[in-house]
Amino acid sequence: MAQKSGRILAVDDNSDILFTLRLLLNPHVESVKTETNPNVIPQLMKEEEFDVILLDMNFTRDAVSGTEGFSWLERILEIDPQAVVLFITAYGDVEKSVRAIKAGATDFIIKPWQNEKMIATVSSAIKLRQSRCEVSGLKEKQREMNTILNSQFVDFIGESEVMKRVFATISKVASTDANILILGENGTGKELVARALHSRSLRSDETFISVDLGSLSETLFESELFGHVKGAFTDAKADRTGRFELASGGTIFLDEIGNLSQPLQAKLLTVLERREVTRVGAAKPKPVDVRLISATNMNIRQVAAEGGFRQDLLYRINTVEIELPPLRERTEDIPLLADHFLKIYSRKYNRKISRPSAAVMKKLCAYSWPGNVREFQHVIERALIMSESNTLTENDFYLTTHCTQQEDVEFDSFNLNDIERKIIDKVLKKHQGNVSKAAPELGLTRTALYRRLEKHSL
């Protein structure tokens, strides 16, 4: 037997009507509470949450005009803006009831009612209430998620002049609806900038949707971004809402936009110009209201000049450009970033680790950081995990690129044996003769490295 749902409050000064409603609705809903005095409505709503409120339009004090019913409708919606109110009204009050719907009532029921119609109307009202609560709950969760995700902006830090300019631009444009194009190498923090823009915008309480366009195939593009209807293609077993619809009212972040093919660029441009999407298989478009933020690691202007990216789409997406510098161009921020990530991972792994020495910091500043801040963060985390003391030493840092900006390996001979000997010697010195650490950096096993050490008399 299906579990009954729906808590009903019926308010009418006619006790016979209330008795009839209880008798009719009890078999179909979870509970029916009745009350002849409307003055107790606020207290009842405080004590219990009702899915549907059945409210008489005319009470004894004002039995004709409906003013009292309108007054209580307004009060109920003040207490609970999501309340679902059904007016119970006489046939002659239909015109007033229509006005009541405009004032916030959900529907009205004419006395004398048909039992089947009453049950159907109340059931629909219960579903509406549940739907409103779900939407409200999702919005609240979204706000909480945005707060959590946007708090990651604290990872986007720096005191260098180039970063100060980036922060200044974010502050200027965040509150506008201008389309933003973020440029920068992988790992420089493009999505952090997008989230910072969203969190400081007038849309901050709405949805932030991030889409990696580089991971979408040609066949999935339309379905993912614009949605589809059931039966639109073989695997379309249900309607699907696209990312643009999900982001409507909020912000959509299109990462790696430079990877789009020309046909997909044309489809995206159409959506941006018309501000509407048509689901795959649907006949009618749906309006969308989004703030667009895009990002790419390409030289998008050069790609456009060479015909690989539409100029009209480029104009559409870059009302304002924000260019993020690579970490190698703001090395003065490295000590600040090191302190920041050490605090995070010391807390995460319950370790007390002091800041690296000046010599180690100099080494970190000299490294080219091809993976930028993302790589730096991972290197700090790994060093903290692998460290056997409370101070990070040079041996705790494993840098995937063997050479630094300031210490390139120079060869005075192109003899392969000489080159191999020089590289092995350099990596051994880097790890202070520790074969266990030098071997993996050289791509060798310890046994293989020992053979080469013997070979080169090292």
Of 81, 204, 79, the C-alpha closest to 132 is 81
pLDDT at 266 over 80: yes
Give how far Cα 118 sits from Cα of 123, 132, 365, Å. Answer: 9, 21, 75
Task: Confirm if 394 and 434 have CB atoms less than 8 A apart.
Answer: no
In this structure, CATH architecture of domain 416-455:
Orthogonal Bundle (1.10)
In this structure, CATH architecture of domain 328-396:
Orthogonal Bundle (1.10)
Q: CB neighbours (10 Å) of residue 264?
A: 17
Of 404, 373, 409, the C-alpha closest to 186 is 373
pLDDT at 77 over 80: yes
Compare 163 and 110 and report the one with higher pLDDT.
163
pLDDT at 92 over 60: no
Mean pLDDT value of segment 235-243: 84
Mean pLDDT value of segment 243-261: 92
Compare 406 and 434 and report the one with higher pLDDT.
434
Q: Evaluate whether 7-135 and 156-323 have a shared fold.
A: yes
Mean pLDDT value of segment 123-139: 80
Task: Confirm if 50 and 9 have CB atoms less than 8 A apart.
Answer: yes
Task: Confirm if 188 and 324 have CB atoms less than 8 A apart.
Answer: yes
Q: Which pair of structure tokens corresponds to residue 373?
A: 């801040």
- Say which residues have a Cβ less than 8 Å from residue 164's Cβ, sequence separation at least 6: 158
With bands split at pLDDT 50, 70 and 90, how would you rate the model's confidence at 99? confident
pLDDT at 293 over 70: yes
Q: Is 87 exposed, middle or buried (CB count within 10 Å of its CB: 0-12, 13-18, 19+)?
A: buried
Secondary structure of 184-244 as H, E, C letters: CCCCCCHHHHHHHHHHCCCCCCCCEEEEEHHHCCHHHHHHHHHEECCCCCCCCCCCEECHH
Alpha-carbon distance 434 to 453, whole Å? 12
Where is 318: in which H helix or E strand?
A: none
Which fold is adopted by the domain 7-135? Rossmann fold (3.40.50)
Q: Which pair of structure tokens corresponds to residue 260?
A: 């789009």
- 191-202 per-position pLDDT tens digit: 999 999 998 999
- 352-410 per-position pLDDT tens digit: 888 888 888 999 999 989 889 999 999 999 999 988 888 888 888 887 654 444 445 55
The pLDDT value recorded for residue 236 is 78
Mean pLDDT value of segment 75-102: 78
Q: Which pair of structure tokens corresponds to residue 455?
A: 């070979």
- 25-38 per-position pLDDT tens digit: 999 999 999 999 99
In this structure, CATH architecture of domain 156-323:
3-Layer(aba) Sandwich (3.40)
User: What average pLDDT does the structure give for the chain?
Assistant: 84
The pLDDT value recorded for residue 142 is 62
Alpha-carbon distance 86 to 56, whole Å? 9
With bands split at pLDDT 50, 70 and 90, how would you rate the model's confidence at 313? very high
Task: Confirm if 292 and 179 have CB atoms less than 8 A apart.
Answer: yes
The pLDDT value recorded for residue 229 is 87
With bands split at pLDDT 50, 70 and 90, how would you rate the model's confidence at 1? very low
Query: Percent of the chain scored above 90 by pLDDT?
Result: 40
C-beta contacts of 161-166 below 8 A and 24+ residues apart: 162/325, 162/329, 162/330, 163/325, 163/330, 163/333, 166/193, 166/322, 166/323, 166/324, 166/325
Domain ranges for the chain, please list them: 7-135, 156-323, 328-396, 416-455
Mean pLDDT value of segment 138-163: 65
The pLDDT value recorded for residue 26 is 92
Task: Confirm if 60 and 39 have CB atoms less than 8 A apart.
Answer: no
Q: Considering all CA atoms of the chain, what is the largest pairwise distance in Å, rounded to the nearest integer? A: 109
The pLDDT value recorded for residue 386 is 87
